[in-house]
């Protein structure tokens, strides 16, 4: 169990958290959310023992093995599969010990080492590492290539595979989907659902969070709040709490105004001085409730296109590819102002090739691409941020596109993308990836395109900006084609899907759940020797995971009576937690807050308070007993 008690952390004189207390049970899958700079990376550092809290405590079992995904990978001259195998440090140590024992002919040690090698899955380690790399998009040949031969994004995939290779009890993942396409994300979801250890993950992909995690730790305003349920449940519950908080704040402000008015009126009157002083003390004692800041700093719209035509772009019997190599053949479709198309397909099937042919970067190898005289294309490429002028500020780069527009108009426009204050006049060379992506989008939006081609537009964007982009695209008046691993964006903005696979581009008659099933079947068909994976969402327990938590291999001491008592407490905890989930769902019913149902609301709130209190008592008993049992 991970326990936080009155946790407080200061960094560079700024308070990240104060008085944070919560419990995370073994096997929980937790999403860690919060604004940039709120302290998510610091939380990971605390769990890894990199530094200690300024007050309170954050503890985890000392016997746990922790796996953490690093954010950088060096250009190493070793094969990808060997790098992944290094993720199991005990496996590598046993291999070294075996080699040494064999060279020294220490046969008794060899017997023990081979037994341990078998216990930790040494004989299947190569197969497990190959499966991890294959799931993340590496062919058999690529697995043998050196790490240095891959680009930065693909090195991050190799790093993720190494992290998953570790037989961990606690897995810490920071934006694991950043460099993945949709098919790799779907594979990773399956893997994490089968992972038996404790998972804590930071991600800006809301669908990924929804499908994997069952708890949320939200860092905000110096506090860490635990929410039960996935990310969508967290959003709904937090919105309700903020609404209630805002009501309390407004009520309190009325009381503050009343007290202040009384004090100002009677402070100087001798007959009322005592009453005024008592109200001054009451005002000082009052704990002011912070107003609920629920509005995002990002809110923009695509400017209405100047002219439209139909079709805007037409593709007739197009073969797309590079040089003499055809990647996709026989492409036929038209883009009209009503087109809302998402491109689906396995990694490397040709989605980006098709986008580049649409925009005109690649000439068709065969067929005809017809473009209307009124077509104005807005193209966001995967590496769009590389085309920014890093020596220029956001304001300067926008003013180059609009030299005759007043500066205040440009500043207001950039402000809707989060560029305000000094940032709007700061050169881009030290901007984060998210800031660069926002600026690239802003420059495209300003140009009023009537065809919008987006190739992974959400890379580097946080949840708030992704939400703003989704809302803006929904109101966009023009043709839209998207390649994205962001399923929420695809679901919200696309009316049709084009499947790019096996050298063709054809209409896909289904939704994203159908595509996930198609992808599993497609993968199985690529290698008949490999068994097709079952859907772990339907049978998570039967989906035998690759990792084996190290602590699970350690036998626990303690009497049989203590073990029985521990099991009883765990059953009671499970029952209370299940009831709390039910209560959260009941309290999420909007009709419950109508005046006619105030008795029902009061009853449910009272029961929830009782269950919360019971949970705290049971968790404390469990913690004490488990520590005694494992001594």
The answer, yes or no, to whether residue 544 has pLDDT greater than 90, is: no
Give 405-417 pLDDT, tens digit per residue.
999 999 999 988 8
Mean pLDDT, rounded, for 49-64: 88
pLDDT range class, residue 381, cuts 50, 70, 90: confident
The answer, yes or no, to whether residue 429 has pLDDT greater than 50, is: yes
The answer, yes or no, to whether residue 512 has pLDDT greater than 80, is: yes
CA dihedral 372, 376, 381, 383 (to 10 degrees): 130
Percent of the chain with pLDDT over 90: 32
Q: Coil, helix or strand for 196?
A: coil
CB neighbourhood size of 143 (10 A):
20
Enter the DSSP assignment of 39: S
- The length of the chain is 631
Percent of the chain with pLDDT over 70: 84
Which pair of structure tokens corresponds to residue 248? 């309390």
Look at 47-51, 369-373, 423-427, 461-465 and tell me which has the smallest mean pLDDT.
461-465
Give 12-26 pLDDT, tens digit per residue.
777 888 888 999 999
Give 243-290 pLDDT, tens digit per residue.
777 777 777 777 778 777 767 766 666 555 655 665 676 566 565 655
Q: Is the pLDDT higher at 433 or at 166?
A: 166
DSSP calls for 318-335:
EEEEETTEEEEEEEEEEE
| CA 111 remoteness from chain centre | 45
pLDDT range class, residue 552, cuts 50, 70, 90: very low
Q: Distance between terminal CA atoms of the chain?
A: 15
Q: Is the pLDDT higher at 88 or at 279?
A: 88
Q: What confidence score (pLDDT) does residue 204 get?
A: 86
The answer, yes or no, to whether residue 500 has pLDDT greater than 90, is: yes
- CA 72 – CA 159 distance, rounded (Å): 8
Q: What confidence score (pLDDT) does residue 324 get?
A: 83
| CA 558 remoteness from chain centre | 40
Q: 139 Cβ partners below 8 Å, 6+ apart?
A: none
User: Which of left, alpha, beta for 502 (phi over 0: left; psi -120 to 50: alpha)?
Assistant: left
Kindly report the average pLDDT of the chain as a whole number: 82
CB neighbourhood size of 304 (10 A):
12
Domain spans in the chain, listed from the N-terminal domain onward: 72-164, 235-285, 313-526, 555-629
The answer, yes or no, to whether residue 549 has pLDDT greater than 70, is: no
Looking at domain 313-526, its CATH architecture is 3-Layer(aba) Sandwich (3.40)
Give 131-141 pLDDT, tens digit per residue.
999 999 888 88
DSSP calls for 550-606:
GGGGSPP-S-HHHHHHHHHHHHHHHHHHHHHHHHHHHHT-GGGGSGGGHHHHHHHHH
pLDDT range class, residue 631, cuts 50, 70, 90: low
- CA 120 – CA 548 distance, rounded (Å): 8
Enter the DSSP assignment of 337: T
Q: What confidence score (pLDDT) does residue 548 get?
A: 45
Please, how many CA atoms are within 13 Å of residue 210, restricted to the half-sphere of its CB? 10
Give 158-172 pLDDT, tens digit per residue.
999 999 999 999 999
**Residue 242 near residue 215, CB atoms below 8 Å:** no
**Residue 46 near residue 10, CB atoms below 8 Å:** no
User: Which of left, alpha, beta for 503 (phi over 0: left; psi -120 to 50: alpha)?
Assistant: left
Query: Dihedrals φ, ψ of 330, to 5°?
Result: 70, 45
Q: Is the pLDDT higher at 48 or at 276?
A: 48
Q: Is the pLDDT higher at 33 or at 621?
A: 33
**Residue 216 near residue 231, CB atoms below 8 Å:** yes
Mean pLDDT, rounded, for 145-151: 87
Look at 178-187, 331-340, 527-536 and tell me which has the smallest mean pLDDT.
527-536
- CA 338 – CA 336 distance, rounded (Å): 5
Look at 238-242, 344-348, 492-496 and tell me which has the smallest mean pLDDT.
238-242
Whole-structure pTM value: 0.66
Which pair of structure tokens corresponds to residue 20? 């944070």
Q: What confidence score (pLDDT) does residue 393 get?
A: 92
pLDDT range class, residue 460, cuts 50, 70, 90: confident
Mean pLDDT, rounded, for 36-58: 86
Look at 110-119, 225-234, 374-383, 536-545 and tell me which has the smallest mean pLDDT.
536-545
The answer, yes or no, to whether residue 366 has pLDDT greater than 60, is: yes
């Amino acid at each position: 169990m991970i326990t936080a008690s009155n946790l407080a952390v200061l960094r560079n004189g700024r308070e990240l958290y104060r008085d944070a207390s919560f419990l995370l049970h073994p096997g929980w899958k937790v999403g860690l959310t919060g604004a940039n700079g709120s302290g998510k990376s610091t939380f990971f550092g605390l769990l890894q023992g990199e530094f200690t809290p300024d007050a309170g405590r954050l503890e985890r079992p000392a016997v746990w093995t922790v796996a953490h995904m690093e954010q950088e990978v060096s250009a190493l001259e070793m094969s990808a599969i060997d790098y992944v195998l290094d993720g199991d440090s005990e496996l590598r140590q046993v291999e070294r010990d075996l080699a040494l024992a064999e060279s020294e002919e220490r046969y008794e040690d060899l017997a023990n080492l081979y037994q341990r090698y078998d216990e930790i899955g040494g004989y299947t380690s190569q197969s497990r590492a190959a499966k991890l790399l294959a799931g993340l998009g590496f062919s058999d040949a690529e697995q043998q290539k050196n790490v240095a031969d891959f680009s930065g994004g693909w090195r991050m995939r190799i790093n993720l595979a190494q992290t998953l290779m570790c037989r961990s009890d606690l897995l810490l993942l920071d934006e694991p989907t950043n460099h993945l396409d949709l098919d790799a994300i779907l594979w990773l979801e399956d893997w994490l659902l089968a992972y038996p250890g404790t998972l804590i993950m930071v991600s800006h992909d809301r669908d990924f969070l929804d499908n994997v995690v069952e708890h949320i730790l939200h860092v905000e305003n110096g506090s860490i709040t635990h929410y039960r349920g996935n990310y969508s449940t967290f959003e709904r519950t937090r919105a309700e709490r903020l609404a209630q908080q805002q009501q309390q704040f407004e009520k309190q402000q009325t009381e503050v105004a009343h007290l202040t008015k009384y004090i100002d009126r009677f402070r100087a009157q001798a007959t009322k001085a005592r009453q005024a002083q008592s109200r001054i003390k009451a005002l000082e004692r009052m704990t002011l409730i912070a107003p609920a800041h629920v509005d995002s700093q990002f809110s923009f719209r695509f400017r209405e296109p100047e002219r439209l035509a139909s079709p805007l772009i037409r593709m007739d019997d197009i073969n797309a590819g590079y040089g003499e190599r055809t990647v996709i053949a026989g492409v036929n479709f038209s883009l009209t102002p009503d087109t809302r198309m998402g491109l689906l397909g396995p990694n490397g099937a040709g989605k980006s090739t098709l986008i580049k042919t649409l925009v005109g970067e690649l000439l068709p190898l065969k067929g005809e691409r017809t473009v209307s005289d009124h077509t104005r294309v807005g193209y966001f490429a995967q590496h769009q941020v590389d085309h920014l002028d890093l020596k220029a500020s956001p304001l300067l780069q926008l003013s180059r596109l609009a030299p005759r527009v007043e500066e205040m108009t440009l500043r207001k426009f950039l402000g809707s993308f989060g560029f305000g204050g000094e940032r709007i006049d700061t050169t881009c060379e030290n901007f984060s990836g998210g800031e660069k992506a926002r600026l690239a989008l802003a420059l495209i939006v300003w140009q009023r395109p009537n065809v919008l081609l987006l190739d992974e537009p959400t890379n580097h964007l946080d949840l708030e900006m992704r939400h703003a982009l989704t809302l803006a695209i929904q109101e966009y008046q023009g043709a839209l084609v998207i390649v994205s691993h962001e399923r929420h964006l695809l679901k919200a903005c696309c009316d049709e899907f084009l499947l790019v696979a096996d050298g063709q581009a054809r209409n896909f008659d289904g939704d994203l759940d159908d595509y996930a099933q198609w992808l599993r079947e497609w993968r199985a068909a690529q290698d008949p020797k490999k068994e097709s994976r079952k859907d772990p969402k339907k049978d998570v327990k039967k989906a035998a995971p690759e990792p084996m938590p190290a602590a699970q291999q350690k036998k626990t001491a303690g009497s049989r009576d203590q073990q029985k008592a521990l099991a009883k407490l765990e059953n009671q905890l499970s029952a209370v937690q299940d009831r709390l989930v039910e209560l959260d769902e009941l309290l999420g019913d909007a009709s419950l807050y109508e005046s006619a149902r105030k008795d029902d609301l009061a009853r449910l709130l009272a029961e929830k308070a009782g269950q919360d209190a019971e949970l705290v008592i049971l968790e404390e008993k469990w913690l004490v007993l488990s520590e005694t049992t494992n001594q």
